[in-house]
Amino acid sequence: MLKGAFLGGIHPPEMKHLSAGSAIERAPVPERLVVPLVQHLGAPCQPMVEAGQRVRRGEVIGSVDALVSAPVHSPVDGEVVSVGECLTAAGTRAACVTIAPYEDQDFEQWVRVEGRDVPSIVRAAGIVGLGGAAFPTAVKLVPPKDLEVSTVILNGCECEPYLTCDHRLMLESPDLVVRGASILRTTLGAARVVVGVEANKPDAAEALRKASDGTDVEVLVLPTKYPQGAEKQLIWAVLRKEVPHGKLPAAAGALVHNVGTAAAIAEAIDLQKPLMERIVTVTGRVARPGNYRVLLGTLVSDLIRAAGGFAGEVARVVAGGPMTGPALGSLDVPVTKGMSGVVVLGPDDAAPPVDGDQPCIRCGRCSEACPMFLQPFAIGTYANAHLWDRAGEFHALDCIECGACAYVCPTRRPLVQLIRLAKGALLAKGVKP
Amino acid sequence: MKHLMQVFVRGITRENPLMILMIGLCATLAVSTQFQGAVFMGIAVIFVLTMSNAIISVFRRFIPDEVRIPMFIVVIASFVTIVDLVMKAFVPSVYAFLGIWIPLIVVNCIILGRAEAFAYHNGVLASIADGLGMGIGYTAVIVLFAFVRELFGSGAVKFLGATLVGLPSWYPAPAVVLLFPGAFVLFGLFLALWRALVSRVGEERGVCR
Amino acid sequence: MASSPLRLVASVVTTCVVAAGGLAVTYSVTAPRIAAQERAAEQRAMAKVLPDAARFEPVAPVLLDAAKKAAAAGQIEGLWRGYAASGDDAGWCIRVSARGYGGPVRMVIGLDRNGKVQGLTILSMNETPGLGTRVESEQWFLKQFTELPAGFGDRDVRALDAISGATRSSRAVKNCVAAAGAAFLAIRGR
Amino acid sequence: MTAAAQLALLFVGAALVNNILLTRFIGLCPFFGVSSSMSTSIGMSLAVVFVMTLASGATWMAWKFILSPLGVGEFLYIPAFILIIAALVQFVEMYLKKASPVLYRAMGIYLPLITTNCAVLATATESAKPGFFKMNIALGSSLGLGEALVYTVGVSVGFGFALLTFAALRERLEAAPVPEALKGAPIAFITAGLLSFAYVGFAGWFGL
Amino acid sequence: MEAALVIKAVGALGVLGLVASGVLAIASRRFWVEVDPRVEQILSLLPGSNCGACGNPSCFATAELIAQGEAAPSACIAGGQETADAIADLVGAERCEVAALVVARACGGGTQAQRAFEYRGVPSCTAASRLAGGPLACQWGCLGYGDCVRACPFGALRLDDRGLPVVDLARCTGCGVCVQTCPRGGTKLLWLVPEGSYVVVRCSAHSKPKDRKAACARCCIACKKCERVCPSDAIHVVDGVAVVAYGSCTACGACVDACPQQCIDLYGRGRGVDAMAADGAGPAVGPRSSSMPGTDEPAEAS
Amino acid sequence: MSEASPEGRFVVAAPPHIRARGSCTSIMLWVVGALAPAAVWSLVSMGTPAAITYASCIGGALGAEAVWNAVARRTQTLADGSALVTGLLLAMSMPPRAPWWMSIAGAVVAIWLGKMVFGGLGWNLFNPALVGRAFVVLSWSGILSKLPTKGWYQTIDVAGNGSLDAISGATRLAIAAADRAAKGGYGFDLAAQYQPLLFRNLQGSLGEVSAALLIAGGLVLIARGIIDWRIPVGYVGTMAALAAAFGSDPLFHVLAGGVMLGAFFMATDYVSSPMTRHGRLVYGIGCGAFNAIGRFFGAMPEATTFAILFMNGMAPLLDRIFAPRTFGWVRRDG
């Protein structure tokens, strides 16, 4: 029995075998890249280019001065076709720069980023959390003065079913991950740096161990359980400390970064390379499931074409993991920094769609599954009746939206959606999280 | 006159103490196992309500605000005691059935409520009309409810020894109707029915006004 | 707008005085009537349970005390000697109460000279309508007591049937009868 | 039976077996009125425990030292007792308002409701006036002061317990898709009825 | 004996009364607490729906603020002119004019709007709009799950059979709760118009007219016909969508007749339009009565 | 815009996009399946009267739900299986020879008053089957106590014992209670009753025929994770402990009466039991305590129905008291 299992959680079918075995390949350069100017959590960037302008690979095309933000770089050499609104995976419309790449691309060349120290280089490289949240990494490298970060945790859990991009990265480039980990540790002045890997990826853990030989990077194998990769659960598993309600993880003395982010940091520091591409798992009902190195701004439709197109009947296409990723209404949305996968679900794999409210039979499975020890049934029930205050009494704002509750619900209540509604209403009322 | 009539009718329909204002419930549920007891309970309430309304209305200018509640309640208690003694003297069997509920008329929220809300601010005639209306509204409901409960709970409705209505003998009277769970549940259903039928009428009148 | 304290006190006291006076008068008017009602009810009950007797006389306090002591199962409230119109001894009437489900069950029990139950009736009870009150409405129940032998004891009473679903009320009635039997044994012959 | 056991029985009998709300229908107005949320029902329960105990003590004294010696209790007890309760409640309300606004906000706003709460008058009468106490415990025809207080506390705790239970049930019903005609009071009555089904189960416990 | 009983009774109850009233009399002096009676009075004048449009959490809080003079007598938005006047009289302030508002819906799509994908989940506009922006192809359109209907504290909205919320102008107080609730509130799908407005354009889309037409059969196509027929120069196509200038509109109804998309409606409680009749609450009577009873939309052209 | 999907429009719903197997219906069917052996055995042992009771209870429950849904214009909810479970549980708590009309009345009350008035499945505050049973027991105790019975106990004098809850005439429990009241001890050997109580007990309700089959069914449900062990363990454990404390045979008291049916199948009803772990344990203990005290010191020898109903009423309060601590709210290290 591995130590470190948090309480609650679920064991969904992993479905990682579809793509875990195939090495990362580069997706072809599409005819057109649509690069959104907001690919992160925080202030949107202002366009720095205009239509008709030539851009070089790595050139900044969007930037803003706000603290919580990250610049956007052109992933290719090409010509700006237009600057305007387009649809994003989240369904919102955002300013985008559309670029027509030239025929010949040299992937070993880029406009180098510059900076005084690690945080400023990371910022200039436009690095954000690649696990999905897309929070600007530079901000996290400068924690509040009153909080001491004693442990940096690298998240290599990849607990979402289907996704294998982190797995492949750890397996194929463990040196990058270890190098990133060391940079993070020294930058933050932390005593420890731990890479947490779920037990279902023994080969990745082994590769990391080998790579970290002789460095101060620890590799910790954690039990396989969803959502092991959630920030608070991971900190608890490694440190046995709870992040206090409403506080930053640093309050528990820890900081969590995704392994992919660490690799990107290593590249930014050592190679002065901005974030222009990422590894995306394309899996499920596609002809060639696998992991692809994808230029940011590639449309999902192009990516699916690169993976051989749909195989069989398709019910839903999910951007990211099937537990938390948004379902796509249209495939003409670009890959962004936070998109770790495109999962194509058939009618049999996907959750049966539910209309309206289903009765809660109070079986209590959602409470058992909730890694935050909430009572999702109660929040859902009150949210459904628009009794937001009551939902707030059940700590709706502490929900991390991992989806474990809705996954186990035997009557298939849309619990996550209901809780999100409650959270939205509570925040609108000015309730502090 | 028209005004008095309005006041009177209001107590029975739009502001029915039991069905709309939801006050004075305790005795209703407790004594409605017996049609006969309910009738006498109703009469007692009408008497106390009307008399106390009248007296309080007459003396309302002499009642200081600070001690109005104790004074109201002494007046009401006196009439209740009169009812108590008279019933004991003349209808002992009914008195034995009603038991503690006669003294508890004092704290029936309807009576103090009307004294405070109506009689203290209105003239004698209007107060009497109000008392009668409220009392009759109360009595109508409690008698009807008791009728239903006794009929379905024991198979027949009796009044002073005579059987008024009886169900066929094969009807297996469920005793639960007469027990306290039955009282609550039936009153809930009664309330729903009343709201569906009677209140709607009241609402429409409200619009026409 | 606060009134003077004197006025407050005066108005409350006046109300109280008037109310008290009125009630005292009402009481003195109704009190005899209430007493008469109670006596009449008692007489009616006694005549019913001991039909042979024409008049009833309360027994001496000594006997009543003895009876009270002897009756463990219930509480003896009154004890009368019944006399037939001819002046013969007709038996005893015992008013007795025992705890039931909703309060005391008060009964009057008539015993003949030998201590056999002549009749019994329930004066008052507060049992659950439809359940406990079946001790009165189901006639076989009270009737079975008249078949008890003269000089019956506690065991004899216990052996009789109870009404299912009304255990406590049945037990109260049985206790009353058992108490009456015990009282009779204690005062017999005196 | 020892005296302590007797008192314990008296308490259990008053609180559960003869629960004043669910088996005797006394005090229903606040039961339905303030049970819509937990916090108000907690305040109400506290107020009832407090006032009921004071009132029972006061009426017991009044009976013992004024009404009974003068021989006027038989017809004066109703006005006398209710006058005592009304004055007491009003006094407590005024006092709390001035002395402890916090406590006043917590339970003071329920105090006016208590004057017309039949539970208080019923319990005070049962405690003070011989012949009204109906429980099946051999305590003689009237209660001593100690017994009266134990009984009263038992009744009021039973009141509070039933009120809290009921409030918790109603909180669950808040979001329920109850049929339109039954919304509000009717469903509350039905819930109370089903809850009192459970209290039938107490019938005859310990011979009470 | 009777006399003795009466005296005893009088004595007993008299003493009790004396004690009780004496204690209360003293207590009422010692524990006197000042309460502003005007709070209660103001509260009784307010609508009491706790809609929150005034920015205070409850009507009681507003009443307290008004009584303390920290809020204007006209603070209550939902109450309108009458309430403001009554409160002003009560607190002895000057009466002032309140700009009365009602809510209007700038979308006529409903079931005729195109869906980009199939939405399955909680039937709520807010929830739907958060999943890929909602199923409508038009990002400005009414999603039709009725969040506004549920939110309205005055019961002034209902969903009609086109899946669109219609306003009962007799009940609408212009409190704006629906506007705050509507996930498209920021794009003026629901918005507050002055009470004296007469027409409303049932489209608020800002995409290219061509895209718009593909997304919805009922959109404004910026054809400018309304602009040309308007005798008082009160309607103009701004940013690709018709906009009414309420100051100069005279409710002549020319634009309503001219619109080829039937996307302009007579509306509002203004002069000549019966309050009960507007926006689907009943047959419209006024300068022009082309509305079908029960809808706020002219009869189908086809 | 290119239409990339082969079928046209996609489905968009909130995450998660995958779901665990199992549904409300499958849970209900598992409960039915776990009850089935005991039910079939009782049917075999008791014959036609049992068949009539089963048919009228289940038919009444399904019919009542269908009628309510039709009248209230709700979507039909028979497929969720909850009405079937309610009907089956009600039947198993009825005496075999109960008149058919009584079974139907109980089933209708169970569904309408116990469930539908609150808004249907998931909203009922009390176990519907127990509401139906309590209604029947309180309404027609007189008729129930006079039902024709057969078996060895008829030779035992049960005079002086009638009870509110004695739904099937003189059950073993009733006899035990009567004996205890009369003599202060038991007139028969309790240990000798284990075998009939476990395998073939023809006195009592339909669900009391075989405690062994009920236990087996209950264990299957616990093993499948459908019911929480805390409730039955708390219930049965408390019952046994208190029986021993009151100076009687714990095993007899656990096996006799409806304790097994109640502990495994009635008290564990999801909707009317607490949702928190501690709450469930306390709830089970409360059921056991109420049942034991009611059995030894109450007016009725069998108090299962009211014990569970009472604790149903307490469930929301228990959930409030034992609400889980949210992660991160109170610091807890290690």
Q: Which residue reads 């036609």 in tokens?
A: F48
Which of A271, A298, A324 lies at the terminal end of a domain, its last residue?
A271
Instruction: Kindly state whether residues A195 and A76 are assigned to the same domain.
Output: no
* Phi, psi angles (nearest 5°) of residue F327: -50, 125
CA end-to-end span of chain C: 75
CA A413, CA A431: separation in Å to the nearest integer?
25
C185: Cβ contacts below 8 Å, ≥ 6 apart: C70, C115, C151, C153
Among B65, B78, B95, B180, the residue to mutate for chain C (most C Cβ within 10 A): B78
The SS3 call for residue D184 is: coil
The CATH number for A286's domain is 3.10.20.600
Instruction: Kindly state whether residues F28 and F124 are assigned to the same domain.
Output: yes
pLDDT-based confidence at residue D137 (cuts at 50, 70, 90):
low
The domain of E153 spans 101-284
Q: What is the pLDDT of residues B134-144, one digit of tens each?
A: 999 999 999 99
Residue B48 carries which side chain, given as an amino acid letter? V
Mean pLDDT value across residues C19-24:
90
Contacts of C124 in chain D (CB under 8 A): none
- Nearest 5°: the CA angle F39, F41, F44 is 110
Question: E267 with E197: CB under 8 angstroms?
Answer: yes
Q: Does E27 touch chain D (CB under 8 A)?
A: yes
Which of A271, A290, A318 lies at the terminal end of a domain, its last residue?
A271
Q: Which residue reads 């284990």 in tokens?
A: F194
CA E149, CA E164: separation in Å to the nearest integer?
10
* Phi, psi angles (nearest 5°) of residue B116: -70, -45
Instruction: Kindly state whether residues A134 and A250 are assigned to the same domain.
Output: yes
The domain of F111 spans 21-144
Instruction: Kindly state whether residues E52 and E143 are assigned to the same domain.
Output: no
The domain of A140 spans 112-271
Q: Is residue F149 part of a domain?
A: no
- Please return the burial class of E34, using the count of CB atoms within 10 Å of its CB with bins 0-12, 13-18 and 19+: exposed
**What's the gap between Cα A89 and its chain centre?**
13
Instruction: Kindly state whether residues A331 and A380 are assigned to the same domain.
Output: no
CB contact under 8 A, B175 and F140: yes
Q: Does B177 touch chain F (CB under 8 A)?
A: yes
Instruction: Kindly state whether residues F118 and F193 are assigned to the same domain.
Output: no
Q: How much is the pLDDT for E269?
A: 54
Mean pLDDT value across residues F171-186:
60
What six digits make up the tokens of C168? 């406590």
What chain F residue is nearest to B154 in terms of C-alpha separation?
F139
Q: How much is the pLDDT for C164?
A: 63
What six digits make up the tokens of A198? 């779920």
Q: How much is the pLDDT for F154?
A: 32
Q: What is the percent of chain E with per-residue pLDDT over 90, rounded to a whole number?
A: 1
Buried b (16+ CB within 10 A) or exposed e, B151-178: bbbbbbbeeeeeeeeeeeeeebbbbbbb
Instruction: Kindly state whether residues F241 and F291 are assigned to the same domain.
Output: yes
CA A257, CA A155: separation in Å to the nearest integer?
6
Q: Is residue F257 part of a domain?
A: yes
Q: Is residue E194 part of a domain?
A: yes
Total length of chain F:
334
DSSP A6: P
Instruction: Kindly state whether residues A120 and A237 are assigned to the same domain.
Output: yes
Instruction: Kindly state whether residues E166 and E64 are assigned to the same domain.
Output: no
With 70 as the cut, is the pLDDT of residue F177 above it?
no
CB contact under 8 A, A384 and D174: no
The SS3 call for residue E129 is: helix
Instruction: Kindly state whether residues A130 and A116 are assigned to the same domain.
Output: yes
The CATH number for E67's domain is 1.10.15.40
Mean pLDDT value across residues C159-180:
78
Q: Which residue reads 């996968």 in tokens?
A: A341
Smallest CA–CA separation between C18 and chain B, in Å? 9
* DSSP assignments along C31-70, one per residue: HHHHHHHHHHHHHHHHHHH-TTEEEEEEPPHHHHHHHHHH
Q: For C165, which of F160, F162, F182 is closest by C-beta distance?
A: F162
Instruction: Kindly state whether residues E164 and E243 are assigned to the same domain.
Output: yes
Smallest CA–CA separation between A169 and chain F, in Å? 25
Q: Is residue D2 part of a domain?
A: no
Q: How much is the pLDDT for F181?
A: 58
CB contact under 8 A, F10 and E118: yes
Q: Is residue D22 part of a domain?
A: yes
The SS3 call for residue A16 is: coil
- CA torsion, ordered C134, C139, C145, C148, to nearest 10 deg: -150
Question: B33 with C102: CB under 8 angstroms?
Answer: no
- Please return the burial class of D146, using the count of CB atoms within 10 Å of its CB with bins 0-12, 13-18 and 19+: exposed
pLDDT-based confidence at residue D107 (cuts at 50, 70, 90):
low
pLDDT-based confidence at residue B201 (cuts at 50, 70, 90):
very low
Low pLDDT (below 50) residues in chain A: 1
Instruction: Kindly state whether residues E41 and E182 are assigned to the same domain.
Output: no
CB contact under 8 A, A330 and E150: no
The SS3 call for residue C181 is: helix
What six digits make up the tokens of B201? 């009428």
Among A324, A420, A423, A429, the residue to mutate for chain E (most E Cβ within 10 A): A420
CA A91, CA D186: separation in Å to the nearest integer?
45
What six digits make up the tokens of E211? 């895209």
CA A83, CA A78: separation in Å to the nearest integer?
14
CA F110, CA F116: separation in Å to the nearest integer?
9
Q: Does E touch A (3+ CB pairs < 8 Å)?
A: yes
Question: F117 with D179: CB under 8 angstroms?
Answer: yes
Work out the number of other CB atoms within 10 angstroms of the CB of residue B27: 29
CB pairs under 8 A between A and E: 56
Q: How much is the pLDDT for A134?
A: 87
Q: Quote the ipTM score.
A: 0.84
Instruction: Kindly state whether residues A215 and A249 are assigned to the same domain.
Output: yes
Buried b (16+ CB within 10 A) or exposed e, D57-91: bbbbebbeebbbebebbbbbbbbbbbbbbbbbbbb
- CA torsion, ordered A264, A270, A274, A277, to nearest 10 deg: -40
Instruction: Kindly state whether residues F240 and F194 are assigned to the same domain.
Output: no
CA B77, CA A344: separation in Å to the nearest integer?
79
Smallest CA–CA separation between D117 and chain A, in Å? 30
Q: How many domains does chain D have?
A: 1
- Nearest 5°: the CA angle A307, A312, A317 is 60
With 90 as the cut, is the pLDDT of residue B170 above it?
no
Instruction: Kindly state whether residues F182 and F286 are assigned to the same domain.
Output: no
Q: Which residue reads 């013992």 in tokens?
A: D64
The SS3 call for residue F235 is: helix
Q: Which of B190, A297, F266 is nearest to D182 (CA)?
A: B190
Chains interfacing with B (3 or more CB pairs < 8 Å): C, D, E, F
pLDDT-based confidence at residue E188 (cuts at 50, 70, 90):
confident
Instruction: Kindly state whether residues E70 and E131 are assigned to the same domain.
Output: no
Work out the number of other CB atoms within 10 angstroms of the CB of residue A339: 28
- Nearest 5°: the CA angle A290, A292, A296 is 145
Instruction: Kindly state whether residues A163 and A252 are assigned to the same domain.
Output: yes
Q: How much is the pLDDT for F15?
A: 87
**What's the gap between Cα E188 and its chain centre?**
14
* Higher per-residue confidence, C71 vs C190: C71
* Phi, psi angles (nearest 5°) of residue A208: -65, -40
What six digits make up the tokens of F190? 């309790």
Contacts of B64 in chain C (CB under 8 A): 3, 7-8, 11
* Higher per-residue confidence, F62 vs E47: F62
Q: How much is the pLDDT for D140?
A: 60
Mean pLDDT value across residues C57-68:
83
pLDDT-based confidence at residue E287 (cuts at 50, 70, 90):
very low
Q: What is the pLDDT of residues A193-247, one digit of tens each?
A: 999 999 999 999 999 999 998 888 999 999 999 999 899 999 999 998 889 888 8
Q: Is residue E4 part of a domain?
A: no
- Please return the burial class of B68, using the count of CB atoms within 10 Å of its CB with bins 0-12, 13-18 and 19+: middle
CA C57, CA C73: separation in Å to the nearest integer?
24
Q: What is the pLDDT of residues E5-61, one digit of tens each?
A: 888 888 888 888 888 888 888 887 777 666 667 777 787 788 766 777 777 767 777
Smallest CA–CA separation between E24 and chain D, in Å? 6
The SS3 call for residue F238 is: helix
Work out the number of other CB atoms within 10 angstroms of the CB of residue F156: 15
CB pairs under 8 A between D and F: 93
With 50 as the cut, is the pLDDT of residue F299 above it?
yes
| Cα Rg, chain B, nearest whole Å | 18
Q: Which of E109, A360, E284 is nearest to F272 (CA)?
A: A360
What pTM, to 2 d.p., does this model score?
0.86
Contacts of B191 in chain F (CB under 8 A): none
CA A390, CA A378: separation in Å to the nearest integer?
9
Q: For B66, which of C8, C30, C33 is closest by C-beta distance?
A: C8
Q: Is residue E3 part of a domain?
A: no
Instruction: Kindly state whether residues F191 and F290 are assigned to the same domain.
Output: no
Q: For F309, which of D173, D179, D198 is closest by C-beta distance?
A: D198
What chain D residue is nearest to A386 in terms of C-alpha separation?
D175
Q: How much is the pLDDT for E157?
A: 87
Instruction: Kindly state whether residues E122 and E238 are assigned to the same domain.
Output: yes
CB contact under 8 A, E14 and C9: no
Q: Does B168 touch chain E (CB under 8 A)?
A: no
With 90 as the cut, is the pLDDT of residue D59 above it?
yes
* Higher per-residue confidence, E216 vs F310: F310
Q: What is the pLDDT of residues B62-99, one digit of tens each?
A: 888 777 888 888 999 999 999 999 998 988 888 888 88
Instruction: Kindly state whether residues A106 and A133 are assigned to the same domain.
Output: no
Q: How many domains does chain E have?
A: 2
Which ranges in B91-179 belong to alpha helices (H)?
A: 92-98, 109-114, 124-154
Q: Is residue E178 part of a domain?
A: yes
Chains interfacing with C (3 or more CB pairs < 8 Å): B, D, E, F
Residue E35 carries which side chain, given as an amino acid letter? V
The domain of D154 spans 10-202
What chain B residue is nearest to D185 in terms of C-alpha separation?
B188
Residue-averaged pLDDT of chain B: 84
